[in-house]
Amino acid sequence: MEKKKFYITTPIYYPSDKLHIGHTYCTVATDTLARYHRLLGEDVMFLTGTDEHGQKIEEKAKEAGVSPQEFVDRIVDGPRGVRDLWKLMNISNDRFIRTTDDYHVKSIQYIFRKMHENGDIYKGSYKGKYCTPCESFWTESQLKDGCCPDCGRPVKDAEEEAYFFRLSKYADKIRDLLENTDFLEPRSRVHEMVRNFIDPGLEDLCVSRTSFSWGVPVDFDPGHVVYVWVDALSNYITALGYGNDRYDDYEQGWWPGVNIVGKEIVRFHSIIWPAMLMSLGEPVPKKCFGHGWLLLDGGKMSKSKGNVVDPYILAEQFGVDALRFFLMRTFPFGSDGNFSNELLIQTINTDLANDLGNLVSRTTAMVGKYFGGELPAGCGSWADPAPFDTELKTLASGLRDRYAAAMDAFAPHNALAEVFKVIQRANKYIDENAPWALAKNMEANGSRLAHVLYNLLEAARICGILLTPFMPESMDKLFAQVGADAGCQTWESAARWGGLSETAAVAKGENLFPRVDMEKALEELEAAVEAARQAESGVELEPQLTEQVDFDTFCKSDFRVVKVKSCEAVKKSEKLLKFILNDGTGVDRQILSGIHKWYEPEDLVGKTLVAIVNLPPRKMMGHESNGMLISAIHKEKGEEVLHLLMVDDAIPAGAKLC
Ligand code: MSP
């Protein structure tokens, strides 16, 4: 029998900057769902990729002094780029599309032409409010406080000759799709879309641009490039071969698929995308699921706010599986959630180290200690089960179906909550049976002890199967430790208590999830973030000197706080500034400093600085200098950067540094 086909996608990412934990959240979630469907035995196609056209990329490339193609290539394929990140995070995508791929470009031209030929795309002129970072035109009524409703940044008036898509023609059909089917989830997003976009009346959509050129050219009207969202949304079908001969999966029945997207792009995916498909005469997606955002300190992460969380650093410090798990366990998938490092560490310690890790390590250690790593044949059954035996078995055998219901409802957090109920029950079962007490009299209690341990291995095995989509690598290790071979790692066997061989070889291996020392880990994280920031900004620091200076020599240097009374450039010198300083003695002190490259004299008057005041006087360009102002200096992208040391104005002139 042919396997059921399941096609699932993430949004394709803008490679305008490196990806952060928010992007990772969305991709990990989609990967988890894809792996779940593979576990179900379905034939899965999982697509991700990058959305590489548009004005923003064109501008960024210009700033960086490279061509747009070079710019995106670097972020997609370069070190620590998009592909590297997905590899690191163990993302199991079957296909990766780039909108600059030739076959996609060809398909976009085909799609645009087809909609033009059927009358759904027509030429007009566009007047509106344009948000450059979001590449979106807005109507006056859609603006929020006069700014872009998506990103809050200022918009500008724009007018250009453009092609339009007859979105308005599809308003009733889209309303029907949203209101009368379960196409869009969670349901709250339906109300949002209808209230904000359908009820006020759908307007035709501007789908070409002439103001920049980094995009797919409209082949029948050079000078126009296809609007980036038409280009981007179509990736879900061009990657299957729609309109190109690179793939033939579209004809093979892979479409329609499931589109997982973040909440701010639900509008594009639940209104514009289905309308485009209707115009092309193709089926709409099976589902659009709009997940929430990961917030930092209650706000959205963004490079410009400087509050992005780097997934590389977290994965390297805590492990890929721990990070994947945390993202799925902690934040209800449809809602926003507040990210914090403390929460991540707490989740690792509570769920992974204490609950799951302990269950596996205690159980496998006891099988090793009391039975040499192999339980006796027959230990799986017990003639007169105790109530807690039955409770554990019933809870674990029914787990698979409760888990499936949650996963099918796009609620991986609920699926995990079910799994952890069983893990916690199993840990309680250890205490109820006190295996260490049974082990004191092996002759009388040995077979009961073996049965107890078998039940624990079984509970761990079943949970392990269901945790595989979340933590694939760690669950392979778990299976090896509890002795579960491939035959008892299947979806079918997750609902079958007793699937594990009674005499399986059990081995206590490495600790699956070591406990994290919160304080130490936070300090290490801070250092890693700082190191990454410096590496990115190109900051080079002088190596620290290893030669020691004795204390008495050091104490001979007299550092004082000084206040700038006046400051002027020294004539005929490009570098020198002449300072008159109050050093607390009542007599003005003159110091010359070669810092004009970094400071204008008028900006320094009134500042509180630090100087060494017992250097011998020195003549510079005919002026005497009595001391030296203290600065910090480093290199950035090969250039020297200097910062005068400025201290609290409350410190009086003349205060001695010690
Ligand atoms: N290129 C478009 C998508 C085109 S799909 C046809 C785009 N790219 S994006 O890189 O800006 O965002 C990609 C996805 O990452 C979006 O679904 C977005 O919601 C998600 N996230 C970006 N920041 C996020 C958080 N802080 N939290 C959760 N997801 C967020 O949009």
Q: What is the pLDDT of residue 305?
A: 66
pLDDT at 637: 66
Atom 10 of ligand 1 has which residue's CA nearest to it?
13
For 450, phi then psi, to 5°, come to -60, -40
Q: Whose CA is nearest to atom 19 of ligand 1?
A: 262
Supply the residue whose CA is at minimum distance from atom 7 of ligand 1. Answer: 13
Residue nearest to atom 8 of ligand 1 (CA): 13
Indicate which atom in ligand 1 lies nearest the CA of residue 296: 26
Determine whether the shortest distance from the Cβ of 232 to ligand 1 is under 6 A: yes
Find out whether the beta carbon of 280 lies less than 6 Å from any atom of ligand 1. no
Mutation test residue for ligand 1: of 23, 27, 297, the one with most atoms within 8 Å of CB: 23
Q: Return the structure tokens found at 250.
A: 């579209």
Residue nearest to atom 12 of ligand 1 (CA): 13
Distance (angstroms) between ligand 1 centre and the Cα of 53 equals 15
> What is the distance in A from the centroid of ligand 1 to the CA of 552?
59
Residue 25 beta carbon below 6 angstroms from any ligand 1 atom: yes
From the CB of 227, is ligand 1 less than 6 Å away? no
Within 13 Å and on the Cβ side, how many CA atoms surround 299?
10
- Give the residue, by CA position, lying nearest to ligand 1 atom 29: 22
Q: Looking at residue 628, what is its pLDDT?
A: 97
CA–CA dist 555, 578 (Å, integer): 27
Which residue's CA is the closest to the ligand 1 atom numbered 13? 13
Question: 378 near 446, Cβ under 8 Å?
Answer: no
Q: How far is the CA of 262 from the centre of ligand 1 (A)?
A: 6
What is the rounded CA–CA span in Å between residue 177 and residue 175? 5
Q: At what angle do helices 320-330 and 21-39 cross, to 10 degrees?
A: 90
CA-CA distance, 378 to 383, in Å (whole number)?
A: 11
Question: Are the CB atoms for 269 and 284 separated by under 8 Å?
Answer: no
The verdict on the CB of residue 197 being under 6 Å from ligand 1 is no
Three-state DSSP state, 483: coil
Element at 345 (helix H, strand E)? helix 341-347
Q: Which two tokens stand for residue 36?
A: 């779940």
639 beta partners: 636
Three-class DSSP category at 127: strand
With 0.75 as the threshold, say if the pTM is over it. yes
Angle between helices 320-330 and 412-433 (to 10 degrees): 110
Residues 457-494 as b or e (16 or more Cβ within 10 Å = b): bbbbbbbbbbbbbbbbebbebbbebbbbeeebbebebb
The enclosing H or E element of 5 equals strand 5-9
Q: In this structure, which residue's CA is closest to atom 18 in ligand 1?
A: 262
How far apart CA 314 and CA 278 sit, in angstroms, is: 43
H or E element: which one contains 424? helix 412-433
Q: What is the pLDDT of residue 152?
A: 87
Buried b (16+ CB within 10 A) or exposed e, 506-528: bebeeebbeebeeeebeeebeeb
Other CB atoms within 10 A of residue 235 CB:
25
Predicted confidence at residue 539, as pLDDT, reads 64
Measured from the Cα of 13, ligand 1's closest atom is 10
Which portions of the chain are predicted below pLDDT 70? 303-306, 538-541, 637-638
The answer, yes or no, to whether any atom of ligand 1 lies below 6 A from the CB of 230, is no
- Whole-number pLDDT of residue 567: 97
Distances (CA, A) of 496 to 66, 224, 349, 483, 642: 59, 60, 30, 16, 69
